[in-house]
Structure 1
Amino acid sequence: MTVAIAPLTAEHIPLAVQRYDRWFARARRPPSQRAWLADGPVRGEELLGKLQAAPGLEACRALDADGQLIAHLAAIPLDLAPDNASALRSHPHSALVPHGGHSLPSGRESEVLRAMYARVSERLVAERRLVHYVDVPAGDTATAPWADLGFGRELVHGLMAVRARGRQPRGVGGLGIRRAGPSDLPQVGRMAAESSRGQRGPGMFQPQPEAGLAALRLRYADALADPRCGAWIASRRGEEIGMVLLVPAAPGPVVPDTCVELMEAFVEPAARGEGISRVLLATALAWAYDNGHRYMSARWHSASPLAAGHWPRIGFRPVAYRLSRTLDSRIGGPPGTF
């Protein structure tokens, strides 16, 4: 069946919200997660409302044979300055389909997405936005149609339930843990930058511009002064060798209201493998529980030799992915030429 594609405008948002809520409720979690993560609001109205106001939005809708909206796709442009810490995780001239940015009809996911992506990506490529991202819930229902277009998993968004103190990890000899405050910004910033700089290596090969790393060193000044946030530094024999930093998580379709986000975690390479990360995380989890948080979220690169194995072993379960597609940089000129 041929899919008709038309622009998505303000008048179509209410129906797009209904379609999104229905699709997301079906795709949000694989069966293995339904026993531990309670259903929360899908937030389609909130998400599409924000998208509608985004500058430079490129959006379309798919119509069935009766002219009824059955799906939508919306991408926002990303333009990041070199000294923006966000440029450490995203290409500075790219496009993102965020949560709320697409819905698909059951049984025709790949066919409909293919038609919509062809329309939306045309302008993106014309603007030389050759790196495309999409946020999707974990599970084949959401990821398979994008994989058919050449998108691959890049970032993992995981959640872990925060419970009352149970069995604590074994202590590490000579290790001290202290709460960090505003005066610790140089130490926290240095370790955050070192963690990010490590993403330059195999197998991530993520560009980490020095201007972005410099911005990262100062990024957490407000968090260290905010009692709603928590940060701890591990030291041994007077040397600071690790840290962890938590901030309140913004609620979303895969983030419960009572969630705190693990923004940074670092252990000096020479001290890894001793259990320092587990001690730091246990300290952070105890604080999170005492402050009313019942979930903790974290994000990591799926290609990271360290993080991709470590965080799932700690107890984080994937609830969402950021998929990406990078088009050949030789694209240009008339269609079909390089």
Structure 2
Amino acid sequence: MTVATAPLTSEHIPLAAQRYDRWFARARRPPSQRSWLADGPVRGDELLGKLQHTPGLEACRALDGDGALIGHLAAVPQDLRPDDPAALRSHPRSALVPHGGHALPSGRESEVLRSLYVRVAERLVADRRLVHYADVPAGEAATAPWCDLGFGRERVYGLMAVKARGRQPRGVEGLAIRRAGPGDLPQIGRMAAESARRQRGTATFQPQPEQALAALRVHYADALADSRCGAWIALRRGEEIGMVVLVPAQPDPVTPASCVELAEAYVEPAHRGEGISRVLLATGLAWAFDNGHRYMSANWPSASPLAAGHFPAIGFRPVAYRLSRTLDSRLTGPPGTY
């Protein structure tokens, strides 16, 4: 069945925001996770209020038989410079449906999303944007309609509760942990770049442009000088063999306000399997609790053979996914031509 669609303009934002808040309450997480995870700030009106002013926004709304709004879809164009660290994780010319960018009616999710995406995707492809991303809360209700369109999980966003210090991991022989500061930027940058560079391999196969890697080497200069952030280096016999970097997390519908983000975590390959990452994480968690944080967030590639098993094993539970769809690069010209 074809669903009627029409442009989404500023006059429709209040109702679209209400629809989003109701949809998110249904789709946000599996019931098994709701007992321990705090809600992030939903604020559909704020999310959609920002979206409507985004240059190049492609947005439309779905209508029922009486012409009333029952859903919406809004995609933001992304154009990344070669030296932008964000280009390490996203295609430089793509489009993103962020949190707040879509809402669907109960019982008609796939049908309505398909009709909305048909309209929005046609404009994106005409603009030569062939990589599409969507941020969705974890759970079958939120992901299934996108899977019907050919989207798959590309990144996982997880949360861990930060608690008062309990049982700490056993010490690792010959390991020392020290707080990192501005003078440690070369070491932090080197390990961050090495961690990113490994995403070129199987099964992630994510291009890591050299210009973006070079920018990543100095990306944490401000964080290392900011008391709101925390970074630690693991050493053995004077050699830096691992690190973690924590920065304040940006609150969103799946990230509570009292949250710190695990921005970087790395252990040299020759020293993995000894528990070094757990010691580094325990150090960071203790600091986070003492500084008023009650949650820690992290995100990782779903196809990474290391991260996909490691992050859930150390306590992170999925709360959201970034889904992606890459269209055939032979698409050129009018729809249907190759």
**In the TM superposition, what is the alpha-carbon distance from 1:53 to its structure 2 partner?**
1.0
Q: Matches of 1:122 and 1:209 in 2, distance apart?
A: 29
Q: Tell me the alpha carbon deviations over residues 127-185 of structure 1, each in whole angstroms, 9 at most, x when there is no partner.
A: 11000000000000000000000000000000000000011001000100000000000
Indicate the residue corresponding to 1:243 in structure 2: 243
The letter of the residue matching 2:150 is G
* Matches for 1:106-185 after TM superposition, within 5 Å: 106-185=106-185
Mapped contact 2:85–2:216 kept (Cα < 8 A): yes
Q: Deviations over 1:280-305 (max 9, x none)?
A: 00000000000000000000000000
In structure 2, the residue matched to 1:48 is: 48
Q: Which amino acid aligns with 1:209?
A: P
**Structure 1, residues 219-242: CA drift from partner, whole Å, max 9, x if none?**
000000000000000000010000
Distance in 1 between residues matched to 2:209 and 2:169, nearest whole Å: 36
Query: Any idea what SS the aligned residue of 2:54 has?
Result: coil
Instruction: Determine if contact 2:2/2:115 at 8 Å carries over to the other structure.
Output: no
1:305 aligned partner: 305
One-letter identity of the residue aligned with 1:296? M
- TM superposition score normalised by structure 1: 0.99
- AA at the equivalent of 2:264: E
Distance (whole Å) between structure 2 residues aligned to residue 40 and residue 266 of structure 1: 28
Size of the alignment, in residue pairs?
Answer: 338
- Give distance in 1, aligned partners of 2:82 and 2:76: 19
2: CA distance between counterparts of 1:80 and 1:51?
18
Once the two structures are superposed, residues 254-274 of structure 1 have per-residue CA deviations (whole angstroms, 9 ceiling, x without a partner) of 001100000000000000000
1:68 — aligned with what? 68
Question: What is the DSSP-based 3-state SS (H/G/I as helix, E as strand, rest coil) of the residue aligned with 1:193?
Answer: helix
Question: Could you tell me how far apart the structure 2 residues matched to 1:40 and 1:95 are?
Answer: 24
Q: Please state if 1:324 is matched with 2:320.
A: no
Q: Which residue of 2 aligns with 1:203?
A: 203
Shift of 1:336: 2.0
Distance 1:182 1:223 in 2: 8
- C-alpha distance in 1 between matches for 2:116 and 2:142: 15
Counterparts of 1:159 and 1:276 in 2: how far apart (Å)?
A: 21
1:81 maps onto 2:61 in alignment: no
Could you say what the CA RMSD is over the residues aligned between the two structures, in angstroms?
0.7
| Residue type at the aligned position of 2:103 | S
Unaligned runs of 5+ in 2: none
Find the aligned partners of 2:51 and 2:317 in 1 and give their Cα distance.
28
Structure 1's consecutive aligned runs of 4 or more residues displaced over 3 angstroms after TM superposition are none
- SS of residue in 2 equivalent to 1:333: coil
Amino acid across the alignment from 2:73: L
SS across alignment from 1:218: coil
Q: What do the CA deviations read for 1:95-144 (whole angstroms, capped 9, x no partner)?
A: 00000000000000000000000000111001110000000000000000
Q: What is the distance in 2 between the residues matched to 1:80 and 1:33?
A: 35
Q: Distance in 2 between matches of 1:134 and 1:171?
A: 41
Segments of structure 1 that go 5 or more residues without pairing to the other structure are none
Partner of 2:8: 8
Q: Name the aligned partner's letter for residue 32 of structure 1.
A: S
- Is residue 266 of structure 2 the alignment partner of residue 266 of structure 1? yes
Alignment of 1:273-312 (within 5 A): 273-312=273-312
Q: TM-score, normalised by structure 2?
A: 0.99
SS at match of 2:325: strand
Question: What code does the residue aligned with 1:146 have?
Answer: W
Distance 1:38 1:225 in 2: 30
Cα distance between partner residues in 2 of 1:128 and 1:333 = 9
State the one-letter code of the partner of 1:163: K
Deviation at 1:40, TM superposition (A): 4.1
Structure 2: distance between partners of 1:234 and 1:273 = 14
% identical aligned pairs = 81
